[in-house]
Structure 1
Amino acid sequence: MKKISLFLIITAGVPLGCSPDYLDVKPSKSLVVPSQLQHFQALLDAAGVAMNQGPGIQALATDEFYHPDDNLKNLPFVPRNAYLWADDIFEGTGVADWEFPYKAIFNANIALDGLRKISPDAQTEELYQHIYGSALFYRAVSHFHLAQVFAAPYEPATAAVLPGIPIRLSMDVNQIVGRGSLKQTYDQIIADLTESEPMLPPQVTYINRPSGAAVKALLARVYLSMGDYEKAGLMASAALQIHDHLLDYNTLNPSAARPFPAPFSKANPEIIYHYGLTPYSPLVSSPLTGVDSVLYQSYQSNDLRKTCFFVSRPSGVYGFKGSYGGGASLYGGLVTDELYLIRAESYARSKKTDLALADLNTLLRSRFKKGSFETLKATDETILDLVLMERRKELFARGLRWSDLRRLNMEPAHQVTLMRIVNGKPLKLAPGDNRYVFPIPDNEIKLSGIEQNPR
């Protein structure tokens, strides 16, 4: 245990400082690399040191939150630049949104490289398979969420020519990895998840660990981002066959500062896989930070999401308090409500209106005050817009709005131009703008020489 603790301290400590030159620091040759199954499991369980955490900066760039001028000038420069869609967001600094996922990928590759050197016996075979499948999942989930921020949105016609993200498949940090194509990025993500699924149990006791349900739920999210709505619906349905629990919001205290239970309390039955977003506390904690007022007004008075998600602040704005993380940080985990909405969208796009409505009604019955919910109705022409609106309302501040804007902006009927008023001047982010792809951190460009994203 001393050896594995030393290993975890050394490897985990590198990205946490987020220094500009951390990538130039190579691990020592004397680094203790784990060699036993329990060591690999401990490495992957390090949820507090880069595992189970992904980019959150994209949430600052959407239309979910707004900052008045008085608040904006007090924000640290990275979240401020992200909010303003600046050309140079990171200003040469290290970026947790990039570093933490690649740290998780590094840990996953340590486990995979090490496991390949082990020949399990009959007693350890099951544990070996679980750990191996988990490492594949961690690598896939990190690559995927990096692609949502640092690579272009997926479009089949251009995916083979647009650059993806560096796909790291080895623990060798001296290996320079290019960006490859966007198609290669998604192909690898899907391949890792497909390989991992039969190795994992359908459900797990500890939600920081992946499961078969989590694999299917993540694949549903991946296919949705790719615009493959049929496969997204199939994967969502497969995940719901394993885990379809919903949290009854009538059991919550809407007046509480944090109405939702902590994820590891097991009091929220919706959570399939725990995944936090890089914390940008000014985004949600400032009394001046507001939420989209038009969206806020779209919730009915008997919709418990209105009081569980939002709070009226002394500044006169409505703020957000409803993180599924149970605290101030935003949450991006795999959760049952998202699956119902993915499947509903898949049905809606196939004109299976009755099935789409059934999923929406199942979800919303648990969101309204008891006895007050009125069953939704729609036609083939209106069902998709209804689903997309409920997706916005249900998945507020989950880090998914950015991906939704990117994919929906490819459809003329659903394009949105984002607007800000800053110091009396309008700022716009038009559909298809290059700024829908964040710049790759300068230190990574300097180290690897990979292509920078145009701004």
Structure 2
Amino acid sequence: MKKHLAILTLVITTAFVSCSDQLDRYPVDSLVEETAYNTVTDLQYGLNAVIGNYNYNYIIGFNSLFTDNTQLGVDNGGQEVPYHNQVLNPGSAAINGNAVLWFSRYSNINDMNRLLVSASTITPSADELDTYNNILAQTYAFRALAHYELLLYYGLDLTDDSALGVPYVDYVSSDATPGRDTVGDVVTRINEDLDQALALFPAGTNDINFATPDFVTFLRARMALETGDNLGAINLCNSLIADYPLADVSQYYGMFNEDADKTEVVFNYDNVQGFDYAINFLWNFSGQGPKFEISNELYSLYDDNDIRKTVILDPVSDIDEEVLVIGKYPINADTQAINDFKAMRISEIYLIRAEAYAKTTQFDLAADDVNAVRAARHTVAVDDVEYDSLLEAIEGIITERRLELAFEGHRYTDIKRVRAITSKGIERSEDLGDCDGAAPCSLPASSKEFILPIPQGELNGNPVIREQQAPGY
């Protein structure tokens, strides 16, 4: 995907206030909202910039640093230590911080809303209609995704429709002060945006570097699991599993270590030379010195014949010295960490369905889905797992998710979602040294830190939401 940045943030973030007719007149070459989007081609450039600015690094980094998947690296000089130490407060602001996630997603949403407003002023020709409709579909789909991610981290209880969620913003305003909508309202609005996207996708939309109808189904499956709609999650997963195979061992290796195989990828964030988010550098310096390493416990959970163990461990690691360098997104020959982020993979869908099966006491079917993933990842036959209780099934499924989705932005929310069943929060292995360096060994299941605080900058500028901070902050 080529990310055309001719229309940049200036177009979509600057507010203009006119005081007279004279001030309402803009030079024809001025890059402002009134002149930026005049054609469908302009809209396409704008969409590419919107998607290009949709940064996943906050989520990937936070889920690894805050949980039990990492330990302090031998070369850490204080980088991101507060988040590894599980310090969250409204004033937190760092690369992987809660403030960055909040403001970046609402900035993305603002860009999308401006694109939709501008699109409403453009009439496409017959030849442009499919392109025009696809631009709208993409914008609705990504607006839904952005609000879902905000709800996932900042919503008070996703299983309670009446609980406070996040503001759902579908308008452009320079001075609005929105309050939190309820979880039920946010879910409804997300689904409305996804319905709009489905109605607008041209026939044959299947480029995995953009939103597609399968992207919509995948997002709905995630949301169904988080909101407790287990039967809905199962049905949504069924439709995707019917159309996507699990990658085999060689395909899985190629997917990450060579960035060359997309067999099981439903949505791929396409990093490109000159415009990428350098995922590898979340944990490593450019010379491969590690700021953070794979936790000893996580590494010990992989069998030697599990291809995932080969993929997550960078070859520069020194196992004898217990230096476990994260290598899931390796640096290429140009020393640029250009590796696509496989944001939606079919293995996650198998594990979503497994969890939904377990929560509806279909333990044999839950085990079947976990066994399918395990079989695809091992170079030799492995024993099947069996589950006889909800607790056993959930613990087994969440462990498999930890192995399969390590460093892909799920660990924190996985622990959060099932803590009412497991009665466990984040547990780092003291015996294996994963909480050395003054890092906490545990975060209780009841901790307020399982809901991110609304950042101080939002509280300062929005008196409505100031009264709706997450409990305990």
TM range (shorter): 0.7 to 0.9
| 1:185-200 matched pairs, under 5 angstroms | 185-200=186-201
Q: How far apart are 1:214 and its partner, in Å?
A: 0.5
**Superposition CA RMSD, Å:** 3.4
Q: Where in structure 1 are there 5+ consecutive unaligned residues? A: 15-24
The Cα offsets for residues 294-337 of structure 1, whole Å up to 9 and x where unpaired, read as 23222222111111122472352323212499848894611111
Q: Residue 292 and residue 373 in structure 1: after superposition, are their counterparts in 2 closer, same or farther (change >3 A)?
A: same
Inter-partner Cα distance in structure 1 for 2:49 and 2:144: 17
The Cα offsets for residues 28-87 of structure 1, whole Å up to 9 and x where unpaired, read as 77513413323222212226741364632531212111216x655x233xx322222224
Corresponding position of 1:150? 154
Match of 1:320 among 320, 326, 347: 326
Inter-partner Cα distance in structure 1 for 2:358 and 2:168: 34
SS for the counterpart of 2:445 is: coil
The Cα offsets for residues 366-410 of structure 1, whole Å up to 9 and x where unpaired, read as 2111xx123514144344433222112111111111111111112
Corresponding position of 2:119? 115
Aligned residues: 424
Question: What amino acid is aligned across from residue 247 of structure 2 in structure 1?
Answer: L
Match of 2:257 among 256, 260, 265: 260
Inter-partner Cα distance in structure 2 for 1:325 and 1:204: 31
Kindly indicate whether residue 427 of structure 2 is the aligned counterpart of residue 418 of structure 1. Answer: yes
Question: What amino acid is aligned across from residue 415 of structure 1 in structure 2?
Answer: K
| Greater alpha carbon shift after TM alignment, 325-334 vs 114-123 | 325-334
Question: What amino acid is aligned across from residue 63 of structure 1 in structure 2?
Answer: D
Corresponding position of 2:21? none
Question: What amino acid is aligned across from residue 143 of structure 1 in structure 2?
Answer: H
Conserved 8 A contact 2:314-2:324: yes
| Greater alpha carbon shift after TM alignment, 271-280 vs 428-437 | 271-280
Corresponding position of 1:55? 58
| 1:5-84 matched pairs, under 5 angstroms | 7-8=7-8, 10-11=10-11, 26=15, 31=32, 32-46=35-49, 49-51=52-54, 53=56, 55-56=58-59, 57-59=61-63, 60-67=65-72, 74-76=77-79, 79-84=80-85
Q: How far apart are 1:215 and its partner, in Å?
A: 0.4
Inter-partner Cα distance in structure 1 for 2:57 and 2:145: 9
Q: Residue 272 and residue 87 in structure 1: after superposition, are their counterparts in 2 closer, same or farther (change >3 A)?
A: closer
Question: What amino acid is aligned across from residue 318 of structure 1 in structure 2?
Answer: L
SS for the counterpart of 1:398 is: coil
Corresponding position of 2:365? 355
Inter-partner Cα distance in structure 1 for 2:358 and 2:42: 46
Q: Residue 406 and residue 5 in structure 1: after superposition, are their counterparts in 2 closer, same or farther (change >3 A)?
A: closer
Inter-partner Cα distance in structure 1 for 2:394 and 2:203: 31
Conserved 8 A contact 1:224-1:342: yes
Corresponding position of 1:228? 229
SS for the counterpart of 1:247 is: coil
Corresponding position of 1:21? none
Conserved 8 A contact 2:36-2:42: no
Q: Residue 111 and residue 288 in structure 1: after superposition, are their counterparts in 2 closer, same or farther (change >3 A)?
A: closer
| 1:357-396 matched pairs, under 5 angstroms | 357-369=367-379, 372-374=380-382, 376-381=384-389, 382-396=392-406
Corresponding position of 2:107? 103
Q: Residue 100 and residue 324 in structure 1: after superposition, are their counterparts in 2 closer, same or farther (change >3 A)?
A: farther
Conserved 8 A contact 1:323-1:397: no
Corresponding position of 1:211? 212
Kindly indicate whether residue 143 of structure 2 is the aligned counterpart of residue 139 of structure 1. Answer: yes
The Cα offsets for residues 241-296 of structure 1, whole Å up to 9 and x where unpaired, read as 3x413322225669xxx95333xx5x222221124889583435543523232232
Q: Residue 39 and residue 424 in structure 1: after superposition, are their counterparts in 2 closer, same or farther (change >3 A)?
A: closer
Corresponding position of 1:306? 309
Q: Residue 194 and residue 410 in structure 1: after superposition, are their counterparts in 2 closer, same or farther (change >3 A)?
A: farther
Inter-partner Cα distance in structure 2 for 1:122 and 1:226: 41
| Greater alpha carbon shift after TM alignment, 115-124 vs 132-141 | 115-124
Inter-partner Cα distance in structure 2 for 1:215 and 1:324: 29
Inter-partner Cα distance in structure 1 for 2:453 and 2:246: 37
Corresponding position of 1:433? 447
Question: What amino acid is aligned across from residue 300 of structure 2 in structure 1?
Answer: Q
Question: What amino acid is aligned across from residue 249 of structure 1 in structure 2?
Answer: V
SS for the counterpart of 1:334 is: strand
Q: Residue 134 and residue 52 in structure 1: after superposition, are their counterparts in 2 closer, same or farther (change >3 A)?
A: farther
Inter-partner Cα distance in structure 1 for 2:84 and 2:78: 10
Inter-partner Cα distance in structure 2 for 1:339 and 1:348: 14
Q: Residue 383 and residue 151 in structure 1: after superposition, are their counterparts in 2 closer, same or farther (change >3 A)?
A: closer
Q: Residue 123 and residue 65 in structure 1: after superposition, are their counterparts in 2 closer, same or farther (change >3 A)?
A: same
Conserved 8 A contact 1:104-1:142: yes
Inter-partner Cα distance in structure 1 for 2:361 and 2:418: 18
Q: Where in structure 2 are there 5+ consecutive unaligned residues? A: 19-25, 27-31, 272-276, 429-433
Corresponding position of 1:19? none
| 1:245-284 matched pairs, under 5 angstroms | 245-251=245-251, 259-262=256-259, 267-275=261-269, 281-284=281-284
Conserved 8 A contact 2:94-2:100: no
Superposition TM-score, scaled by structure 2 size: 0.78
Inter-partner Cα distance in structure 2 for 1:61 and 1:204: 37
Corresponding position of 1:244? 244
